[in-house]
Every structure is written in C-alpha cells, then in structure tokens.
C-alpha cells in the first residue's frame, strides 16, 4: 500500500525529522497549528501589525530576505485565503518583486515584539498587480495606506499555509518615537555600509 505524503512540510523537513527522531512531535505541530487558511485570530493579528519580514528566491533558488513596514494593517486581509500589501517606490532594485516574477513562492513572517511576543508565518503564491488592476478585482483595498504615497504595485498572496512562531526568544522591544534630526555620528544611509570602501578606492587611485 502506498503511504500518502504528509499534508504539510517539505521532503527535507520530513527527512530530517526521521533522522533526528522528531517526526511524532512535528506531526502534532502540523495537526494542531498549521492551517491552509487564515483563522479569524490570524486575520486580526495581521491587521494589528506594522511590519513584516519577507523571504523570496529566484528561479535558481538564490534567496533574498527583506522587510516591509507601514501603518498597522498595511498588509490587507482580503479574506481567509488572500492577502495584499502595497509596494512603494524604493531604491529601484526591486529584488523581492523581481524574485516573485521568476518564482512566485513568498514567505511572510509577522512578529509582535511589543505586546504578545508571538509570530505568524504565512506562505503562499504571490502575483504582482498595478494598483488600478487589483482594485478592479478587490475594490475594498485601502485607499490611503501611507499618507502622501501611492503604491507602485500590489503584492497579492494566495495563502497556502499559516502557522505560529512561538514566543520563545522573541525579544521585547519598547515602542519609542523616531529620533528627530540626524545623529551627529550617523552616516547617511547611502554611506552607512559602503563609505569606507569608497574612501579606500579614492585613496588607492589617487588624484
């Protein structure tokens, strides 16, 4: 008799679970925690979050991790199977969105660092839409996600699985206002990690 494949998890996950003897524990987690849709509690949690971490990969499996933030609820829950969030103008590289063009699988991690200290993984298939195009399909999208800024596009996610990231080791971060003005010792963002390299090149090449 052929044993059906597990409902959740990759082949690599199950291989390691067998090797390390955690298959029964993992099976309980899949059964109790992993869902094919967003529960009402998950939807409410997403609506309170002001940040999310993204995981993408291109068609060759080259990975990229990124970060998005906005007013609470900037990631919009369309329904129990669908999310959407806006992409605003950035540095023009479009690394995450570019990966989604090649490989639409997207991992999202929401983390509450300030109150309940819990996280939520949401994985699924992403598609990119122009603002007007997605609004024709989902007219209930928020119209003023970030005051004064219009989205260049939206990422639309068809949810395949969602599950908890437990509170253990999630640090507590105290909400604080953003500092005003520029810190005297802080370089500009464009120089923050690369200024020394430019100085070295200028010193090497000389006048």
151 neighbors 86 (Cβ within 8 angstroms): yes
If we measure between CA atoms, which residue out of 6, 38, 31, 78 comes closest to residue 159? 38
Residues in the chain with pLDDT values less than 50: 1-5, 204
Residue 181 lies in a domain: no
**Count of domains forming the chain:** 1
Instruction: Give the model's pLDDT for residue 149.
Output: 80
The parent domain of residue 40 ranges over 36-165
What CATH number should be reported for the domain holding residue 106?
Answer: 2.30.110.10
Instruction: Give the model's pLDDT for residue 51.
Output: 96
**Tokens coding 72:** 């609470």
Residue 53 lies in a domain: yes
Q: Where are the alpha helices (DSSP H) in the chain?
A: 11-20, 23-33, 40-48, 95-102, 131-137, 195-205
Residue 118 lies in a domain: yes
Q: How far apart are CA 120 and CA 10, in angstroms?
A: 19
Instruction: Give the model's pLDDT for residue 203.
Output: 52
The model's pTM: 0.88
Residue 156 lies in a domain: yes
Residue 3 lies in a domain: no
If we measure between CA atoms, which residue out of 78, 125, 123, 122 comes closest to residue 101? 125
Residue 54 lies in a domain: yes
Residue 69 lies in a domain: yes
Residue 204 lies in a domain: no
Average pLDDT, the chain: 89
Instruction: Give the model's pLDDT for residue 206.
Output: 53
Instruction: Give the model's pLDDT for residue 177.
Output: 85
């Amino acid at each position: 008799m052929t044993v059906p494949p597990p409902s959740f998890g990759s082949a690599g996950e199950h291989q390691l679970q067998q090797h390390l003897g955690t298959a029964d524990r993992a099976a309980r987690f899949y059964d109790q925690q992993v869902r094919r849709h967003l529960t009402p509690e998950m939807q409410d949690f997403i609506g309170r979050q002001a940040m999310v971490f993204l995981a993408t990969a291109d068609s060759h499996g080259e990975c990229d991790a990124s970060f998005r933030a906005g007013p609470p609820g900037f990631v919009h829950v369309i329904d129990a199977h669908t999310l959407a969030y806006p992409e605003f103008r950035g540095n023009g590289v479009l690394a995450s969105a570019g990966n989604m063009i090649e490989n639409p699988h997207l991992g999202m991690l929401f983390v509450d660092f300030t109150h309940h200290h819990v996280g939520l993984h949401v994985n699924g298939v992403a598609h990119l839409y122009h603002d007007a195009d997605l609004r024709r399909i989902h007219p209930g999208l928020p119209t003023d996600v970030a005051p004064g800024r219009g989205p260049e596009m939206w990422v639309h996610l068809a949810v395949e699985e969602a599950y908890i990231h437990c509170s253990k080791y999630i640090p507590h971060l105290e909400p604080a206002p953003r500092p005003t003005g520029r810190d005297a010792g802080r370089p500009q963002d464009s120089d923050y990690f690369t200024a020394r390299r430019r100085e070295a090149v200028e010193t090497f090449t000389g006048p």
